[in-house]
Amino acid sequence: GENVEQHPSTLSVQEGDSAVIKCTYSDSASNYFPWYKQELGKRPQLIIDIRSNVGEKKDQRIAVTLNKTAKHFSLHITETQPEDSAVYFCAASRAWGTAGGGADGLTFGKGTHLIIQP
């Protein structure tokens, strides 16, 4: 099955600086890669996702890059703000409609606790 590794487990950055979180996956058939943000005691919220036919995707201060050959993908947050403090999870799966796939559920990394220092 799929295995997703996420680093670092904790990341502390100064407000206004950039933060980068990295994930690797093992199953070359995985083609859907979402990122979730979870605040303490709350549900995970999707912040951005990318499919394997795209190398990069950006949404305001957040971007995700994907390297299929190396099987790794990264989350980039620029101009960090205090409200960015949370735990971030990467995940991987085979997308619905993919041969051998079909909404089989996500495999998550163990999370990165992002701390924004004022």
Partner 1 sequence: DGGITQSPKYLFRKEGQNVTLSCEQNLNHDAMYWYRQDPGQGLRLIYYSQIVNDFQKGDIAEGYSVSREKKESFPLTVTSAQKNPTAFYLCASSSLVEGSGKTTDTQYFGPGTRLTVL
Q: Which residues bind partner 1 (CB under 8 A)?
A: 1, 4, 6, 32, 34, 42-46, 49, 89, 91, 93, 95-97, 102-111
Q: Which is nearer to partner 1, 18 or 51 (CB)?
A: 51
- Minimum CB distance to partner 1, residue 1 (Å): 7
Task: Say how far apart CA 63 and CA 1 lie, in whole Å.
Answer: 27
Q: Which is nearer to partner 1, 97 or 118 (CB)?
A: 97
- Minimum CB distance to partner 1, residue 4 (Å): 8
Query: How wide is the angle at C-alpha 21 spanned by C-alphas 17 and 24, nearest 5°?
Result: 160
H or E element in which residue 58 lies: strand 56-59
- Minimum CB distance to partner 1, residue 30 (Å): 11
- Minimum CB distance to partner 1, residue 95 (Å): 5
Task: Say how far apart CA 80 and CA 69 lie, in whole Å.
Answer: 29
Q: Which is nearer to partner 1, 97 or 100 (CB)?
A: 97
Q: Which is nearer to partner 1, 76 or 101 (CB)?
A: 101
Closest among 27, 74, 32 to 53, alpha carbons compared: 32
Query: How wide is the angle at C-alpha 79 spanned by C-alphas 35 and 83, nearest 5°?
Result: 65
